[in-house]
Amino acid sequence: MLIVLLGAPGVGKGTQAQILTQRYGLMRLATGDLLREEIAAGSELGRRVQAVMGRGELVSDAIIADLVRQRLDGAAAGRGVVFDGFPRTVAQAQLLEQLLHDLGRRRLDAVIQIDLPTEEIVRRISGRRSCTHCGALYHIEDHPPRSAGRCDRCGAQLVLREDDRPEVVAERLRVYHQHTALLLKFYQNGSHLVAVDGDGTVEEVSQRIQQALTAAT
């Protein structure tokens, strides 16, 4: 099964992607995580990516395509893939189609668009905190740590990620909406695109996605 999860930053794509990977035994491919791995490794690519992400801009399609190709070519991808936050532009969608073709894989089974009001997106993102050591994620309102500012798992400091700062969030949303209309039109023409309401509990949204997948496949 090949599934694309679309939606603005903060709508819960990562959480829902994890649920899908466990339910269907798929590999989760999240370009944001791949980029942050490069940053954490301190590579030359990571330094370039950090500067771009710090401004709330999109990383170039060429860089994204290379990262995705490496993961799709791995054995784990043979079970199926949940694409979390990729593609983000029409150009990236076309790149994905070409990558799947080059690797001898079938077309996408479903494209799920998770919708959420802007004010709720801002609340979710600005309240997120991540562990500097193990990467665990928290939210100051929805999922706070037991000790303020400290990770429950390893005790390391929790921080507001650079790309989660309010001013960067605003830019990320502007860039997302600038591209999303054309991307949705692209998928409406050739894939099983379904919009899902992302407002509600994790379980409620998961159930809506399950229903959408059943209808699409």
- Hey, which residues are catalytic here? 13, 88, 128, 161, 172
Tokens of 99: 């990558």
Q: Which residues contact 23 (CB under 8 A, 6 or more apart)?
A: none
Sequential DSSP letters for 116-183: --HHHHHHHHHTEEEETTT--EEETTTB--SSTTB-TTT-PBEE--GGGSHHHHHHHHHHHHHHHHHH
Crossing angle of helices 90-102/166-190, nearest 10°? 60
Distances from the Cα of 49 to the Cαs of 75, 106, 111, 162, 207, in angstroms? 27, 31, 27, 12, 35
Task: Please tell me the distance from the alpha carbon of residue 3 to that of residue 17, in angstroms, as a whole number.
Answer: 9
Tokens of 211: 């229903």
